[in-house]
Amino acid sequence: MSIIDVNGITKVYRQYKRFPGLVGSLRSLVTRQYTEEVAVRDITFSIKEGEAVGYLGPNGAGKSTMIKMMTGILVPTSGQLRVLGSIPHEARQSNSQFIGVVFGQRSQLWWDLPVRDSFDLHKYIYKLSDLTYQKNLNYYSNLLALSSFIEKPVRQLSLGQRMRVEIAMALLHDPKILFLDEPTIGLDVIAKEQIREFLRMINREKKVSIVLTTHDMKDIEEICHRMIVVNKGNMVYDGSVEQLRTTLGDQRQVIIYFREEPKVIEIPGIKLIKDEGLRKTYLFEKSDRTVFDCVNQIASENLIEDVSIESADIDTVIRKLYRKLDEENRTNEL
């Protein structure tokens, strides 16, 4: 069952031109000249219950705009959008009971108040029962190790601690979907890792569906099975990391440790790129045969000690995707 349906969604920002000075501001009112910017262009996808989806793209790709539309903060310019059956901006109040939202760059906490007060306020706003509130606060406080700073004012927290609090808050009312906009931005490696591990856990154990934006590929690799890649407002990919590797003709490297100097290997699509005596590295370009098949042939003709097959990391895959898009753009412009 799908819980999010995005159908041909477009968002155009209109920015009215301002003229300086008093006369200028009057002129701004009268002329109402504006420029338009298409932040999200004709995007379609749907998300099923229980999924964890990474929304990936460079700065300005339209990620935050999409999250804001899905959470009802912004109204789409055109297209249809449904989250848990409702139109987000029309059902903000009722939808907020079922969704949790975390913005990495904008805090929802009360800066000068102790962390606990922000939680209390959340209890009040969401009309949580004492029982649910205590149970969830204990649960998340344990998992995210909040107890040592829960009585401290938010402003004294490190960024990593604050982000853990933000996430716990967003989950306090047991939402079905958790939206996170760049939840790991600015965090150090260990803090990032804690958050990834936690998100992976609540997706698996608590079945909370997750939609998160990021430009850190590791977020996707560790949390999400599926990724949607956007670029300049357009959706350029929707699928798994593995699928993308295949589509782009992933070049895999195979390191073979021979027992003795092998015969010259002549298999089309295979290239020796590093020769370190008995340890040789081959590049497998796109070929009709599988890597496994080729390694088998080599093994049948030579004495092999060990084999290791290495796939390009996701960073490389995405860079390749962007390069391909750039090339396509240039071809289109010619």
CA distance 146 to 168: 9
Least distance in angstroms from the C-beta of 209 to Mg ion:
20
Question: Within 10 A of 269 (CB to CB), how many other CB atoms are there?
Answer: 15
Judged by CB under 5 A, which stretch of 55-63, 112-120, 231-239, 264-272 contacts Mg ion?
55-63
- Tell me which of ligand ADP, Mg ion, none is bound by residue 61, counting a contact when its beta carbon lies within the kind-specific cut-off of 5 to 8 angstroms: ligand ADP
CA distance 281 to 317: 20
Is 64 or 136 the residue whose CB approaches Mg ion more closely? 64
Residue type, 246: T
- Tell me which of ligand ADP, Mg ion, none is bound by residue 74, counting a contact when its beta carbon lies within the kind-specific cut-off of 5 to 8 angstroms: none
Least distance in angstroms from the C-beta of 144 to Mg ion:
24
Closest CA to 233 of 3, 17, 76: 76
Least distance in angstroms from the C-beta of 70 to ligand ADP:
12
Query: 127-133: long-range contacts at Cβ-Cβ below 8 A with a sequence spacing of 24 or more?
Result: 128/172, 128/173, 132/173, 132/174, 133/172
Least distance in angstroms from the C-beta of 79 to ligand ADP:
16
Question: Within 10 A of 270 (CB to CB), how many other CB atoms are there?
Answer: 20
Q: Which residues pair with 56 in a beta bridge?
A: 214, 229
Q: Which of 39, 64, 203, 228 binds Mg ion (CB under 5 A)?
A: 64
Is 63 or 173 the residue whose CB approaches Mg ion more closely? 63
CA distance 152 to 224: 33
Least distance in angstroms from the C-beta of 213 to ligand ADP:
6
- By CB under 6 A, name the binding residues for ligand ADP: 13, 15, 37, 39, 57, 59-65
- Tell me which of Mg ion, ligand ADP, none is bound by residue 100, counting a contact when its beta carbon lies within the kind-specific cut-off of 5 to 8 angstroms: none
Tokens for 209? Answer: 């569906």
- Tell me which of Mg ion, ligand ADP, none is bound by residue 15, counting a contact when its beta carbon lies within the kind-specific cut-off of 5 to 8 angstroms: ligand ADP
